[in-house]
Chains A and B, each alone.
Chain A
Amino acid sequence: MDITVNILLTIATAATPLLIAAIGELVVERSGVLNLGVEGMMIMGAVGGFGAGYLTGSPWIGLLAAIAMGAVFSLLFAVMTLSLATNQVATGLSLTLLGLGLSGMMGTNFVGQPGERLPNLDIPGLTAIPVVGRLLFGQDPIFYISIALTAAVMWFLFKTRTGLTLRSIGDSHASAHALGIHVIRYRYLSVIFGGACAGLAGGHLSLVYTPQWVENMTAGRGWIALALVVFASWRPWRVLAGAYIFGAVWIGQLHAQAFGIPVPSQLLSSLPYLATVVVLVLISRNKRLTMMNTPASLGQPFVPDR
Chain B
Amino acid sequence: MRLELVKRPQRSMLFSALSPFIAFVLTIIAGAIMFALLGVNPLTAFRIYFIEPISQVWQMHELAIKAAPLILIAVGLSVCYKANIWNIGAEGQFILGGIVGSIFPVLFPQFEGPLVLPLMLLFGMVGGAAYAAIPALLKTRFNTNEILTSLMLVYVAQLFLDWLVRGPWRDPQGHGFPQTIQFNDSAILPELLPESGRANWGFVFALVAAILIWILMSRMLKGFEVRVLGSSPRAGRFAGFGLNRMVFFAFLLSGALAGLAGISEVSGAIGQLQPVISPGYGFTAIIVAFLGRLNPLGIVAAGLVLALTYLGGEAVQSALGISDKVARVFQGMLLFFVLGCDTLIHYRIRLIGFAAPKLETVPKLEEAR
Contact = CB atoms under 8 A, between A and B. Distances in A.
A105 B5 contact: no
A89 B333 contact: no
Nearest to B81: A90
Contact of A284 (B142, B151, B327, B342): B142
Contacts of A227: 148, 152
Given A97-B332, A104-B325, A83 B86 contact: no
Interface in A50-68: none
A94 B287 contact: yes
Contacts of B88: 93
A273 B152 contact: yes
B236 to A, nearest CB: 18
B309 to A, nearest CB: 10
B343 A84 contact: yes
Given A270-B160, A281-B142, A108 B332 contact: no
A86 interface: yes
Q: Is the interface of A mostly helix, strand, loop or mixed?
A: helix
Contacts of B328: 97-98, 100-102, 104-105
B325 to A, nearest CB: 4
Interface string B307-344: 00000000000000011011111111101100110110
B245 to A, nearest CB: 19
A306 interface: yes
Interface stretch (A12-20, A121-129, A138-146, A261-269): A261-269
Given A85-B5, A102-B332, A306-B365, A274 B86 contact: no
B283 A97 contact: yes
B159 A270 contact: yes
Contacts of A83: 3, 5
Contacts of B343: 84-86
B286 interface: yes
B151 A223 contact: yes
A100 B141 CA distance: 33
A260 B249 CA distance: 43
Contacts of B151: 220, 223
A287 B144 CA distance: 9
Given A80-B340, A94-B335, A284-B142, A273 B325 contact: no
A285 interface: yes
Nearest to A283: B144
A220 B152 contact: yes
Given A85-B347, A97-B283, A80 B325 contact: no
Given A76-B336, A280-B144, A273 B155 contact: yes
B7 interface: yes
B152 A223 contact: yes
Interface in A86-134: 86-87, 89-91, 93-95, 97-102, 104-105, 108
Interface string A41-53: 0000000000000
A255 B116 CA distance: 44
Interface in A238-285: 264, 266-267, 269-270, 273-274, 276-277, 280-281, 284-285
Contacts of A215: 325
Contacts of A306: 362, 365
Given A98-B332, A220-B152, A269-B159, A91 B339 contact: yes
A89 B86 contact: yes
B130 interface: no
Q: Which of B326, B332, B335 has the most CB of A within 10 A?
A: B332
A112 to B, nearest CB: 14
Contact of A230 (B3, B145, B340): B145
B143 interface: yes
B338 to A, nearest CB: 9
B323 A108 contact: yes
Contacts of B191: none
B109 interface: no
A249 to B, nearest CB: 13
Given A80-B336, A84-B343, A85-B347, A105 B323 contact: yes
Q: Which of A97, A266, A287 has the most CB of B within 10 A?
A: A97
Nearest to B349: A84
B153 interface: yes
A6 B328 CA distance: 39
A284 B144 contact: yes
Contacts of A270: 155-156, 159-160
Q: Which of B5, B151, B156, B333 has the most CB of A within 10 A?
A: B151
A87 B339 contact: yes
Nearest to A39: B151
A226 interface: yes
B340 A223 contact: no
A303 interface: yes
A36 interface: yes
B339 A90 contact: yes
Given A84-B5, A276-B148, A280-B148, 10 more contacts: A80-B340, A94-B339, A95-B332, A104-B323, A270-B155, A273-B156, A277-B144, A277-B152, A285-B141, A285-B144
Q: Which 3 A-B pairs have the closest CB atoms?
A: A101-B328, A98-B332, A104-B325
